[in-house]
Amino acid sequence: MFKLRAQVEDLAAAIRRRWNERPLAGIILGTGLGTLTDGVDVEVTIDYEDLPHIPSSTALSHKGRLVCGRLGTVPVLVMEGRFHVYEGYSLEMITLPVRVMKALGASILVVSNASGGMNPTYQSGDIMLMEDHINFMWRNPLIGHGDPNLGKRFPDMSSPYDKELLDAAARIARREGIKHHRGVYAAMTGPNYETRSEYRFLKKIGADVVGMSTVPEAIVAAQVGLRVLALSTVTNICLPDNLGCVGKYDVIRAAQAAEPRLRYIVKEVLWEQQDQLAAV
């Protein structure tokens, strides 16, 4: 029970030795979105291999390092490379950085991902603001951890994605003419893409996009009390009756093309929130 708490403390201390700043926001970057750090005034970078309890990131385009610095004027801790169930990692390990971000003082978690669009109104390159999710990973990162120091035992999930942050992101996107949607993300384990029948099923039960991440992090964020903004870049269209073959490089190229728009939204949202964040 107390092993996880010790890992959080060890990892937080290791980061503080290199960067003794309070990150007001933690950011987790998804596939093809690593260049978001181009907009960060970098103060320190730390390779995952130089930190305790952190695994290697094996996913394509994930660099595997922490970037510490400022996005605009907001101090941020950015994960360039996340961890996935399909890499063989436990949900406890996948979500450890979320707990550490909270321990270091963050009050907002920003998560990005690449996804397949099932909503027929979506196009490749669109940004979807996540309003809700469906967990089809068939597991939960909170199972087995009853230590009250880790957060609530039974966190409420009626609103896992912060409405104020969602509204701000949507307002900024409208102002800049950035095409965006609000919708529901279905999380699968991967690493295979879905079948035609699976796409039909997911769409029927209310999912707009499907991906292989984010939900475990959002669950832990709810447990520890982080406000979450999650942005999904639609990288390929998954219409069952017109389904083409999707390559991993197609996904990366589509995500990279959308990245400047996503970066702008995140930067502006955090800028609007900075006074409120600093008072927390």
Q: Alpha carbon 269 to chain centroid distance?
A: 15
- β-sheet bridge partners, residue 115: 234
pLDDT for res 130: 98
Residue 59 DSSP symbol: S
pLDDT for res 86: 92
Per-residue pLDDT tens digits for 39-72: 899 999 999 999 999 987 665 545 789 999 999 8
Which whole number is the average pLDDT over 200-219?
97
Strand 180-187 vs strand 127-135: parallel, antiparallel, or unpaired?
Answer: parallel
Percent of the chain exceeding pLDDT 90 equals 72
Q: What is the C-alpha separation between 1 and 159, in angstroms, rounded? A: 27
pLDDT for res 165: 98
Which whole number is the average pLDDT over 79-97?
92
Ramachandran class of 144: left when φ > 0, alpha when ψ lies in -120 to 50, beta otherwise: left
Q: What is the C-alpha separation between 166 and 82, in angstroms, rounded? A: 22
Q: At the top level of CATH, which class does the domain 3-272 belong to?
A: alpha beta
Q: Residue 35 in 3-state DSSP? A: helix
Q: Across the chain, what does the average pLDDT equal?
A: 90
Q: What is the C-alpha separation between 92 and 139, in angstroms, rounded? A: 11
pLDDT of 279 > 70? The answer is: no
Per-residue pLDDT tens digits for 10-35: 999 999 999 999 999 999 998 656 67
Q: How many CB atoms lie within 10 A of CB 189?
A: 13
Q: What is the C-alpha separation between 238 and 193, in angstroms, rounded? A: 10
pLDDT for res 255: 77
pLDDT for res 195: 93
pLDDT for res 242: 73
The CA-to-CA distance between both ends of the chain, in Å, stands at: 29
